[in-house]
Amino acid sequence: MEREIIHKFSESESDTINLALSFSKNLRPGDIVILNGDLGAGKTTFVKGLAKGLGVDSHIKSPTFVIIKEYKGYINLIHIDTYRIDGNDIDKIGLEEYMDGKNLIIIEWNKFDLFSEKANYKIDMKYISQNQREIVISRLR
Ligand SMILES: Nc1ncnc2c1ncn2[C@@H]1O[C@H](COP(=O)(O)OP(=O)(O)OP(=O)(O)O)[C@@H](O)[C@H]1O
Ligand SMILES: [Mg+2]
């Protein structure tokens, strides 16, 4: 069952942050969110807004080189970017440890469909023009 819950056009970076902030109010510990979109679509920007809504103080940077970053908030935020994950390394990362029902996990790229079976939200971000993005948020299960 896939159901579209939000479909909006963002006109700026702060628009995207605010959209993510208001969406974050729906989130509960244990939720897993997949974030799709091309390079520069605004995935990390969306995570910044989500972090704000979850009461995370620290500055969100793209975890591209570290793959996983953990932040303390009202709900702990686990930010995963699978862009550079090598198929051989998946088992070593210990992804299951984060899926303990206490964290909010958000994944950029979802390479190898690592979280497809478990995610309950999917966000598709599309580059329209320099400052415009189309954002569709769907409930998966
Ligand atoms: N409406 C908008 N929403 C989000 N970002 C926007 C918007 N308009 C312009 N931008 C700019 O687009 C860039 C988006 O970068 P961001 O790192 O969030 O993308 P990304 O999808 O995470 O990229 P990557 O695939 O490299 O991880 C930022 O520089 C941001 O300022
Ligand atoms: Mg990014």
Q: Output the residue whose Cα is nearest ligand 1's atom 26.
A: 39
Q: Which atom of ligand 1 is nearest to the CA of 45?
A: 18
N-terminal to C-terminal alpha carbon distance within the chain: 6
**Paired residues of 121 in beta bridges:** 33, 139
Q: Is residue 43 within 6 Å of ligand 1 at its C-beta?
A: yes
3-state helix, strand, coil in the chain (%, to 5): 30, 35, 35
Can you give the pLDDT at residue 61? 82
Q: Please give the model's pTM, rounded to 2 decimal places.
A: 0.94
Mean pLDDT of all residues belonging to the chain: 92
Q: Is residue 79 within 6 Å of ligand 1 at its C-beta?
A: no
Mean pLDDT value of segment 3-16: 98
Domain 3-139 CATH superfamily: P-loop containing nucleotide triphosphate hydrolases (3.40.50.300)
Mean pLDDT value of segment 7-36: 97
64-111 confidence digits (pLDDT tens): 667 889 999 999 999 998 888 887 777 777 888 899 999 999 999 888
pLDDT of residue 4 exceeding 80: yes
Mean pLDDT value of segment 32-48: 95
Ordered by start, the domain boundaries in the chain are 3-139
